[in-house]
Amino acid sequence: MNASYFRCDRLPVSVRFISTYICNIICEHCDIWRFRGEELSTGEVKAMVRELREIGTRSLKFDGGEPLTRPDIGALLTFCREQGIETSLCSNGLLVERNLSKLESLGQLVVSLSWTDGYTERVLLYEKSLKAVEAAKMAGINVAASITLTRSNISALPAILADGAALGVRMKFRRLLRHGHSMDNSRFASICPDIFELEGALRFLFERKRMGAAIDIPFSKDTSAESCISEESSFVITPSGDVAPCYRLYSFKKWPNGRWLGFRAAFRKAGEFYCPSEVFT
């Protein structure tokens, strides 16, 4: 990938908010639970939302960690709706059923499905996540499923697609990428599909999509290049209010903090960052 230069000449229409470092599971490719820092309070998040609305932001994605570990998540989602900002929330599903009432103001719930035990049987987490999807649908919540392609789940794609079709949900497939959630990438090579495995999986998925399956594959069939996603995604705000140009970079350096500078200024300052290709490789 060629070196790229992020410029924030245009303030973001959508923003990803890593709402907490706290997570109730440990994934092989993510070490966010190792991070520590003072997180934005309820009042500070509301002030952030007001400023985002004033600069033209129209959608806010609550990510984590696990956003449902925040006791104030229901109040924050309601506040966003009152401010005219559309919301989505990414969850592993384990806390969904007990928090359905807090999700009434949510635009879309995205439940991550993890099939991490290899090639033989579905893990308990996967089963619980499927139940969360079903419960959210029954509660009238707009819900989708997200699957990160790994060596352990590629052979299970037919079964995963069958489960999604049975539940009637759209399935979003993503590449496994090194990103800011991980302090230790030593395990990456062992869980990331090689280029031949990935190409085979993509051929299967694109064929199923051509046949009418409810699938989103937001990356190119060209698996030889690791493209920059910052122009397709929004800026990211960390739990402490730092603003980074890409969620894969937020632990790379100390970023401008919207809590102290104001988020408009922080977006513009973060947008001046020069990104060398080796950050991603």
Q: Domain spans of the chain?
A: 12-280
What lies within 8 Å, CB to CB, of 153 at 6+ separation is 114, 115, 116, 147, 160
Instruction: pLDDT band for 206, please (50, 70, 90 cuts).
Output: very high
Q: Tell which wins on pLDDT, 11 or 256.
A: 256
pLDDT in tens, 112-123: 988 754 444 457
Instruction: pLDDT band for 191, please (50, 70, 90 cuts).
Output: confident
Q: Give yes or no for residue 207 having a pLDDT over 90.
A: yes
Give backbone dihedrals phi and psi of 166, rounded to 5 degrees, phi first: -65, -35
Q: Give yes or no for residue 251 having a pLDDT over 90.
A: no
Q: Give yes or no for residue 255 having a pLDDT over 90.
A: no
Q: Is the dihedral of CA 14, 55, 271, 42 positive or negative?
A: negative
Q: Compute the average pLDDT of residues 29-46.
A: 84
Q: What is the pLDDT of residue 230?
A: 52
Token couple for 139: 């509660």
Q: Give yes or no for residue 3 having a pLDDT over 50.
A: no
Cα separation of 5 and 244, whole Å? 13
Q: Domain 12-280 maps to which CATH number in 3.20.20.70, 3.30.365.10, 3.40.50.300, 3.30.1280.10? A: 3.20.20.70
Please check whether residue 270 is in contact with residue 235, taking contact to mean a CB–CB distance below 8 angstroms. yes
Q: What is the pLDDT of residue 7?
A: 47
Cα separation of 236 and 193, whole Å? 27
Q: What is the pLDDT of residue 250?
A: 73
Q: Compute the average pLDDT of residues 172-181.
A: 74
Q: Give yes or no for residue 280 having a pLDDT over 50.
A: no
For 32, counting Cβ atoms within 10 Å of its Cβ (0-12 exposed, 13-18 middle, 19+ buried), the class is buried
Q: Tell which wins on pLDDT, 277 or 185.
A: 185
Q: In the beta sheet, which residues pair with residue 216?
A: 172
Which of 242, 14, 4 has its CA nearest to residue 108? 14
What lies within 8 Å, CB to CB, of 63 at 6+ separation is 16, 17, 18, 19, 89, 90, 247
Which of 48, 29, 43 has its CA nearest to residue 193? 29
Of 81-85, 189-193, 248-252, give the range with the top mean pLDDT: 81-85
Instruction: pLDDT band for 152, please (50, 70, 90 cuts).
Output: confident
pTM: 0.85
Give backbone dihedrals phi and psi of 236, rounded to 5 degrees, phi first: -120, 140
